[in-house]
Amino acid sequence: MTDAELAPAKVNLALHVTGQRSDGYHLLDSLVVFTQAGDILRGQEVQSGLTLRVAGPEAAGLAGDNDNLVLRAAHVMQAEGLALELEKHLPVASGLGGGSSDAAAALRLVARLTGRALPEDVLSLGADVPVCMAATPCRMRGIGERVTPMPALPHMAMVLVNPRVGVSTPTVFAALARKDNPPLPDPLPDWADFAQFILWLGKHRNDLQAPACAAVPDIAQVLSALDNAGAALARMSGSGATCFGLFPDMERAERAAQTLRRVEPQWWVQATGLLQGGPDGTA
């Protein structure tokens, strides 16, 4: 039997850096959503062994060896007798949590194929894996271990843009002017509509955006292009270099994506809806 699992892109709508632990891990307070766009992990039961094949338009540069997070997740599940294939659509190391989302998809898929229980500790696979297991709008705090559902989001669509330039996450964190920034308000409000949500979100930030733009000027160019394409709000996700623009509906997001592809054909551009209820739900 062959089965498949979506590994959606993880997008930080807001990301506040609120502290740093003695072991070096940074403390965050972030609003996280997941998109209908993502990688696809397929699995098929075989007689013996555990293998992973990596394919798809973004497969170049991604290891298919034992260091791959998909295989590490499968080993945590003590998987055996599975042939896995990762169809890679998200750019690698781009601020979209692709590796963590792939690992979470592997845990869900292996559990479904084998009937094994999901592990209690998934944080050991990566700080973003707990929120990626939920794959629904969440507030993520601490180093990623505190995940709580968000109030329902208004309907919206998104355009993701990556300028095909790498960003060093350690360099971005090291360049932060301060690491004890205020957290997001608690509790989060209920948003009546898209306009109200954009007004609220605009008062918050991604604390990593300024140092990332200083290190990689292409990011500022992407943000400007999203603004010019009509985004209600444009911001960087994670530590970059992928940025997102929010739109009230998919039609306007698709039009903006077409414009951006025409103006900057070398960029990776994807219009997408958001997931509301896990990997199988849409907003």
What pLDDT score was predicted for residue 2? Answer: 84
Query: Architecture of 152-275 per CATH?
Result: 2-Layer Sandwich (3.30)
Whether residue 96 is annotated as binding a ligand: the answer is yes
Catalytic site residue 203? no
pTM of the predicted structure, to 2 decimals: 0.95
Whether residue 97 is annotated as binding a ligand: the answer is yes
- Do the bridges between strand 82-87 and strand 50-55 make them parallel or antiparallel, or are there none, so unpaired? parallel
Point out the catalytic residue in the list 29, 39, 128, 207: 128
What pLDDT score was predicted for residue 279? Answer: 74
pLDDT at 77 over 70: yes
- pLDDT tens for 87-120 read 999 999 899 999 999 999 999 999 999 999 999 9
Catalytic site residue 227? no
Q: Where in the chain is the domain with CATH 3.30.230.10?
A: 2-146
Query: Which of 105, 112, 111, 146 shows the shortest CA–CA distance to 127?
Result: 146
- At 50, which helix (H) or strand (E)? strand 50-55
What pLDDT score was predicted for residue 212? Answer: 98
Whether residue 24 is annotated as binding a ligand: the answer is no
Whether residue 123 is annotated as binding a ligand: the answer is no
What pLDDT score was predicted for residue 63? Answer: 65
Whether residue 101 is annotated as binding a ligand: the answer is yes
Query: Which of 120, 143, 128, 161 shows the shortest CA–CA distance to 7?
Result: 128
CATH T-level fold of 2-146: Ribosomal Protein S5; domain 2 (3.30.230)
